[in-house]
Amino acid sequence: MQLPFGTPDKQLGDRGRLSAGDSTDIVVLSDSPVYVSALEEIIRYTSTLRVRAHTTALDEALRTLEAQANTTVLVATFLASYRCLVSQATATIRTLRGRFPRLPILAIVPYLTLADTQAFLHAGASGLCFPSIESLPMLEGIKSVASGREWLGPELEQLLGLRGRSRRKRVKLTLRQVEVLDMIYNGLDNQTIAVRLCCTSSNVKAHLHAIYRKLGVTSRAQAAAIAARWRSASDANTSHSAD
């Protein structure tokens, strides 16, 4: 499978797996050679990160990851043709996540709606951010996902209205509110939720208002985005505990 960006770029360095304690390899799947160069420049001055390969082809990225997934962060950029390929971008993330359940994946996109954010997190992205040549936010994102944490860029958190919001452990939802939030995450409308829960639409609206208040959000999409982040973190914790 080839992303519609061009042909595979030349691999950088060898494919040897790094031992524990060595630097973290980064494989870049990107449609923007210019941004790859900027990313390499940012990482060049760190002692714990290094770009080992970059390619525009998903198949090539998968082959590289097969050799060194345990020590690798996948950075995927969808810059040149993102606006018309949201579904394919998330499908790419889903393919990577399906092949490598524990792979840290940082997706870089030029534009995100709330629905897009939900789609990327649901597909399996560990982190999301807008393109930036500022070193600190980018390095923070790479190191965060490499350590197993989910991460959203500061501008994206501001867009979603999540900056400074309570974490999951500080939010206490009732069992019914958890059920409603899960259905929101899965895209169900109020009428369908009411049928599933054997209640009225008014009851569903009351639950929604309570959920919004507890989460500190003002919209359905923001609540769904938080649910997606929680689920992503929960899946990661389950994967680690199973080892």
CA distance 102 to 238: 10
Query: Roughly what angle, to the nearest 10 degrees, separates helices 220-241 and 114-123?
Result: 10
Distance separating alpha carbons of residues 179 and 175, to the nearest angstrom: 6
Answer whether residue 2 is part of any domain.
no
Q: What is the pLDDT of residue 19?
A: 35
* Lookup result for tokens 């031992």: 19
Where residue 230 falls among pLDDT bands split at 50, 70, 90? Answer: confident
For 61-74, the pLDDT digits (tens) are: 999 888 876 668 88
Quick check: is 232 in a domain?
Answer: yes
Q: Which residues, 6 or more positions from 214, have their beta carbon under 8 angstroms from its beta carbon?
A: 171, 172, 173, 177
Same domain, 51 and 139: yes
| 71/191 same-domain check | no
154/179 same-domain check: no
Band of the pLDDT at 17, cuts 50, 70, 90?
Answer: very low
Range of the structural domain that residue 58 is part of:
24-160
Are 137 and 214 contained in the same domain? no
pLDDT in tens, 31-64: 877 778 888 888 877 778 888 888 888 899 999 8
> Which residues lie across from 54 on neighbouring strands?
28
pLDDT of residue 191: 92
Indicate if the pLDDT at residue 147 is higher than 90.
Answer: no
The answer to whether the beta carbons of residues 88 and 30 sit under 8 Å apart is no
Residues 217 and 175 in one domain: yes
Which of the given ranges, 14-18, 114-118, 163-167, 188-192, has the highest pLDDT on average?
A: 188-192
Same domain, 36 and 114: yes
Q: How far apart are CA 236 and CA 124, in angstroms?
A: 10
Q: Do 180 and 127 lie in a common domain? A: no
Q: Output the average pLDDT for the chain.
A: 75
For residues 7-28, give the mean pLDDT: 47
pTM: predicted TM-score of the whole model, two decimal places = 0.60
Reported confidence tier of residue 187, pLDDT bands at 50, 70, 90: confident
Q: Is 84 within the bounds of a domain?
A: yes
153 shares its domain with 182: no
